[in-house]
Amino acid sequence: MRVRQLTAAAVALLLAASLGGCSDDPGPARAPAPAPAAADPTVGTGDVRLADRAGVRDGGTLRWALDGVPATLNVYQDAASADSALLAHALYPALFRPDEHGRLVPDPDYLEDAESTPPGQQPQVVTYRLNPQAVWSDGTPLSAADLDAQRAALSGRDPAYRGVRPAGYDAVDSITQGADPHEVRVTFRRPYAEWRALFGPLYPAADTATPAAFARALTDGGRPSAGPYVLSRYDTEGGKVTVERNPLWWGDPPKADRIDFLAVAPERRLDALDQDRLDVATLTAAVDRAQPVPSASAPAAPPPAAPPEAAPEAAPEAAATALRRAESLPGVTVHRAAAASLTQLTLNATRGPLTDPLVRRALTGAVDRRRIADAALTPLGLPAAPLGSHLLAGDQEGYRDNSGAAGRADVGRLLDEAGWTRPADGGTRARGGTPLALSLLVPAGSATAKRTADALTAGLAESGIAVQQVAAPAESFVGDRLTAGDYDLALFSWPAGPSPASEQRPAYAKPRPDADGTPEPGSNFGRAGTEEIDRLFDRAAAELDPQARLDLLQEADARIWQFGHSVPLYQRPELVGVRAGVVGAGAYGFGWPRFQDVGWSG
């Protein structure tokens, strides 16, 4: 995966969530992992109201909230957003879907089977058997040409294709038709274990075959798609995207006649639900970033001019009030889940006391993850489940708490050894008259971030480490602070996807010198790494034996714990309001909507 600065899509996750998602590849893979053909992809650790299809009536319109009408439906473009990915699930194929534990298996609507050559056999060849009924909305069958054009666009070999380059496409050597038009053979130039994450979503060859075609936004209704729905209206100014049943759809017929995706700002969603203007709306930001309502009896004076960096302060009391209101809305249920996103504390190894590995180890040991998870999640009605892995979510297949690899650190002894001694009054430690004081960068306006930061600050103070919280708005949090290294500690989230060896590697890759010899951290905001950790990630990405691959990932995670790079805290919370009678919608966790099953109960 290309190591680069975060794109607009990743910053959008900061704006939409309580603790923003930072990702080297915020495009398609930011929609979770795929699922067993026999399994219902909406069942599991998500919170979704399900019903047998026979109990869902045919017809009707659903109104679904977007943060905004996205600039593009090509999720591989820099301008893509989480809303681009949501719409793509309704309009475009994904050869694999995620289940509730992040496992990738064929989606039978598009793929009958897929098989890779066994471990050790070179070259690796994956044979896909496409569903013979699968066609684009212009009647053209899905074929090897579609996969090959997308591979060429995303491999990075032609710099004229500008946009996100997801991991794995550069490992493909060739794509050819197999025994018949529905068989596709993909030959890899090097083994690639996470091949199931490729071609999801898949675009028609006409939209990826040339750089000019790839650059199109795909927002006009004339472009071919191949989902249960087709695009019928794309009104950027009016804030509305409408999809209608695909007349050539070959799978289970969509239950709803159409879905209206409406741009509704988070702060307006509770009103929109209350006024029966929405049926499905993510409420995470609406609750997390709620601001106090001015008293009607005493109109507030105009606020003073604010500096450019200013942003609304976090208001935990207002967030609690907003959650109570959401829970009391008539005819609306609040669904809750742990999102496929890992909130962590990152330590900047190039700043002050944190340049000392002893201090980083001590600080890692001083973080009370359970206390923090309780402070962040319990007020939202979610279990206070601390994370013990940098690479896998707690509900992801293969998850293991590796925090013990760091050892049972004697925090006081380590800090004493590093020269930071504690005064007799038990206050802040100091060395040579300089106090052990660190800055903590947090997303401005987030009540969850504030509760997290307060619990962290109190816990570290008990070990003699002083923390000063610095709230930064999303516009500057990434470029001006994280990328620039202007912080000691930072709170943010990384997406947890189905391909941890490839997707998580940039966060921990050892910085390499650029042309002038200066280390370039890329997406490693901790700004330090080791050759051993890099090798473990590379070996895992190339290991075709699933258990051996998982063992390598566990070993990499253990080394990250020992290195004192960062501290995983908890999975980011996800809250979704759903109107009574709507089935198949809710908080999906690792899953995503199966839009043909979403509708109104009979």
Q: Is the confidence at residue 155, as pLDDT, over 50?
A: yes
Question: What is the pTM (predicted TM-score) of this model?
Answer: 0.90
Place of tokens 């200013």: 310
8 Å CB contact between 195 and 186: yes
pLDDT at 30: 34
Longest dimension (CA), the chain: 80
pLDDT computed for residue 299 by the predictor:
53
Q: What is the mean pLDDT of residues 363-374?
A: 97
> What does the pLDDT look like over 324-359, one tens digit per residue?
999 999 999 999 999 999 999 999 999 999 999 999
At 138, is the secondary structure helix, strand, or coil? coil
For CA atoms 227, 229, 233, 239, the dihedral sign is negative
C-alpha to C-alpha distance for 136 and 131, rounded to whole angstroms: 12
Extents of the domains making up the chain = 341-572
Q: How far apart are CA 219 and CA 215, in angstroms?
A: 12
Phi/psi for 543 (5° steps) reads -90, 115
Could you give the residue ranges of the DSSP H alpha helices within 60-208?
82-91, 144-154
List pLDDT tens digits, range 220-235: 888 999 999 999 999 9
Non-local CB neighbours of 102 within 8 Å, separated by 6+ positions = 32, 33, 340, 392, 393, 395, 396, 397, 496, 497, 498, 590
The amino acid occupying position 245 is R
* Burial category of 455 from C-beta neighbours within 10 Å (exposed 0-12, middle 13-18, buried 19 and up): buried
CB contact set of 413 (below 8 Å; sequence gap of 6+): none
- In single-letter form, the type of residue at position 273 comes to L
- What are the beta bridge partners of residue 576? 282, 335
Q: For residue 508, give every residue at least 6 positions away whose Cβ sits within 8 Å of its Cβ, in sequence order, or none.
A: 390, 524, 526, 529, 533, 537, 556, 560, 565
Q: Which of 8, 200, 224 is nearest to 89 (CA)?
A: 200
Residue 18: which pLDDT band, with cuts at 50, 70 and 90? very low
Residue type, 32: P
Q: Determine if residue 102 is left, alpha or beta; phi over 0 gives left, psi from -120 to 50 gives alpha, anything else beta.
A: left
- What confidence score (pLDDT) does residue 7 get? 41
CATH topology of domain 341-572: Dipeptide-binding Protein; domain 3 (3.10.105)
Q: What is the mean pLDDT of the chain?
A: 90
Environment class of 65 (CB within 10 Å of its CB; exposed 0-12, middle 13-18, buried 19+) = buried
- Percent of the chain past pLDDT 70, that is, above it, reads 90
Given a cut of 60, whether residue 378 has pLDDT beyond it is: yes
d(CA 10, CA 134): 32
Dihedrals phi, psi of 367, to nearest 5 degrees: -75, 120
172-176, 291-295, 305-309: range with highest mean pLDDT: 172-176
